[in-house]
Structure 1
């Protein structure tokens, strides 16, 4: 218990926590109406509620799991060789039960990137989630953002990678998966778009983690000083 408490305290200090979103009955009814629209593989979102809230709602649905990508025309996902949070190599389709992390991958234009991407959705057991998003200094200057797609995949064929005390919200399926539906997103639908910071390419990962939130806060203060003049 003490370890979990200290871990939570550390993550609160260095990362941003998941927003606490509560859905009204009106909002739920509207979202369910959008989801249940017949023959709508491409979800046409015309709600007055922000799209990031809708994506959060989708992530809570038991039968959905989310995958974000720039590719807007995927008919079937094939397993690919990738590295898990724990460093293990696996050949699988990746997805997440989170409503923020996949949007990062959907709107990040990897064709503009030349260096490292450091990011994650970290969870303590079944408790709160924390996020960090950092690109190299050179890559962030390029403003590597684009529109992308969130794919809703069937959750019953996915298994969670880890249930350890501290883990990433990673889920994998080791066979091809056909999406149920898809939703187009833009950088503005990424909740932590303005909280993406940068690191030096030769910087070690622990330093990036420890300085992540601090760099964001310093950036906000600098912006405030500039605009106050």
Structure 2
């Protein structure tokens, strides 16, 4: 693959409020023959130079449409009123497939090439339960049953990343599909026998794409930037 020394950001979603118009345009977007990545942009389009010594904190994820993101963010706020903790913002709702942490910026084209070579059909998720992990004080929403295509996507991604010398986070090697709703839940308010997790209204989610995301740390919490997207087909 030909490399280049220029890029621009595809879409910074951390400060953008999702709209129904965006969802409509996403449905009408034509299929691409290659992943939408920042190095596909020519320098005259306002590209920025890559700092070869810089690193990026990145992960692969499923990214919901604005309507589902809003439903899940509302659920997070409802759980925060009951269990406290820091709720996930609408613009940061996602389901992590593989977390890589800090990688050189120069490795980002390689990550996109790896992801672009994985072929898995679209699949349906049903977000139908809540869970809580005491060791990291995390309350999450997940699936009672994981679709075979989702597991195939994660396994292929982890194997191909490992073969290329990348090391996904240890926690992601034992994959439990989940969407973080609350972080840093105070232990005195944590779910337990006295206050168990409630049942939730099942939320169907048709997954037709996945993304490479860059995380930017800020005082209020991380902001996320979608660097590239890949179609499930």
> What is the TM-score with the length of structure 1 in the denominator?
0.28
Higher share of residues assigned helix: 1
> What is the TM-score with the length of structure 2 in the denominator?
0.28
Structure with the larger RCO, 1 or 2 (CA within 8 Å, 6+ apart): 2
Higher share of residues assigned strand: 2
